[in-house]
Amino acid sequence: MNVTDIVLQSSSPKLSQKQDYIFHGGRRHVRPYYFEFISHVNKRWTGKTIVDLFADEFKGRPRDYYVGAVKSGRIKVDGETVPVSYIVKSSQKITHFLHRHEPPVMTDDVEILLKEPDVVTVCKPASIPVHPCGQYRKNTVVGILDAEHDLGPLFPIHRLDRLVSGLLIIARTAAKADFFRQQIEGGLVKKRYIAKVVGVFPEEEKVVDANINYNGSQGRSTAEDASSSGDDKNVKGKPACTKFTRIDTNGTHSLVLCEPVTGRTHQIRVHLQYTGHPIANDPLYLTQHVDDLETKIAKRIDAGERKLVSPDDYVYSSEDFSIDPMCTNCPKLIPQGYEEHDEALWLHCVRYSGTGWEYECPYPSWASL
């Protein structure tokens, strides 16, 4: 299959179309499509061969694939086909043309709550990223809104983690996005979430003022009480503060209102763990044993131990998509080594408010005790 014979979907003004999606086994899948990734050689990459660069930095595909991709011109340097022994230089542009398979998400609708000329608010389901990132492009909130409601371009002004649900405010113009960002950066925006936590949360209001230290290699944060160390030099992470108020409890779980003053990575989740009342279905923060987490991460990285989305491991159908002979994911619809981990976290954004504006989202079904 000649690269020049394939039309890039990324050249379309729309991010996605209705026909891009396949619904199977309770999941929303994306039909595999051709896409060109563009990057520039950084300091760490300089001096490596083009094949070594990809084999070392992008381990999702075997080395043999990258050898074939360079030879066939699917990987180019500054727009030119190069030999597999080519040594890359600083700031050169590298393009990788590939058959892209996105991970599936749950089939829950992205419900539009309010549509105004310059703002749209939605109730984001868990499992769906807000905007293109990592392996996701079409299977995102902005991608689905473009496909199903012809809403685009869109400018998300805040982000919810993939497994977190609730209110998402999206600007429809760059000017409106700047308005919201100025208020957020100025500390004028108040946020409210609800969480379902373990145990009986204290009845009185509780304020947690503990630094958040995010560890990218572990994919989780830790909290540290800055006042207890007595030495600012020993304090790691960034200052973070969250106010918690119990809404209800049944003796086993509690429903808690969470009002973050700052916006650190996993702040609400780790601050709830810090109080001794973690979110009741949070796989990362139900335990503080990092060794257990590292074991789980190691298993997740090992593709041989990953669990596929369905027992029949959904494979190619001629009605669904065409197989690319060089693609390492075909004939499966899902990416190689995909692990199912889409359970909705019991954390939901219910309100954002600022100077002269306020938006709300209904409570989820799990919020009833």
Domains annotated on the chain, with CATH: 190-295+343-360 (3.30.2350.10)
| Tokens standing for residue 245 | 């108020």
Residue 322 CB coordination number (10 Å):
11
Please give the model's pTM, rounded to 2 decimal places: 0.85
Query: Is the bond preceding 331 in cis, omega lying within 30 degrees of 0?
Result: yes
For residue 65, give every residue at least 6 positions away whose Cβ sits within 8 Å of its Cβ, in sequence order, or none: 326, 328
Q: Tens digit of pLDDT per residue, the chain (369 long)?
A: 454 455 555 455 789 999 999 998 889 999 999 999 999 999 999 999 999 999 999 988 999 999 999 999 999 999 999 999 999 999 999 999 999 999 999 999 999 999 999 999 999 999 999 999 889 999 999 999 999 999 989 999 999 999 999 999 999 999 999 999 999 999 999 999 999 999 999 999 999 999 999 988 788 899 988 665 555 556 678 999 999 999 999 999 999 999 999 989 999 999 999 999 999 999 889 875 544 444 443 344 333 333 444 545 688 888 889 999 999 999 999 998 776 656 789 999 999 999 999 999 999 999 988
Cβ atoms of 306 and 339 within 8 Å: the answer is yes
Largest CA distance in the chain: 68
Active-site hit among 108, 161, 209, 320: 161
| Tokens standing for residue 168 | 């998402």
The pLDDT score that the predictor gives to residue 270 is 95
Q: Which residues of 166-191 are buried (b: 16+ CB within 10 A; e: fewer)?
A: bbbbbbbeeebbebbeebbeeeebeb
| Tokens standing for residue 165 | 């649900």
Cβ atoms of 271 and 225 within 8 Å: the answer is no
**Residue whose structure tokens are 């409890």:** 249
Q: Which of 282, 133, 297, 130 is nearest to 219 (CA)?
A: 297
Q: In the annotation, is 161 catalytic?
A: yes
Q: Which of 245, 241, 246 is nearest to 227 (CA)?
A: 241
Q: For residue 358, what are the β-bridge partners?
A: 353
Task: Encode 211-228 in three state secondary structure.
Answer: EEEEECCCCEEEEECHHH
| Burial of 335 from C-beta contacts in 10 A (0-12 / 13-18 / 19+) | middle
**Residue whose structure tokens are 């560890």:** 215
| Tokens standing for residue 9 | 């979907």
The pLDDT score that the predictor gives to residue 259 is 97
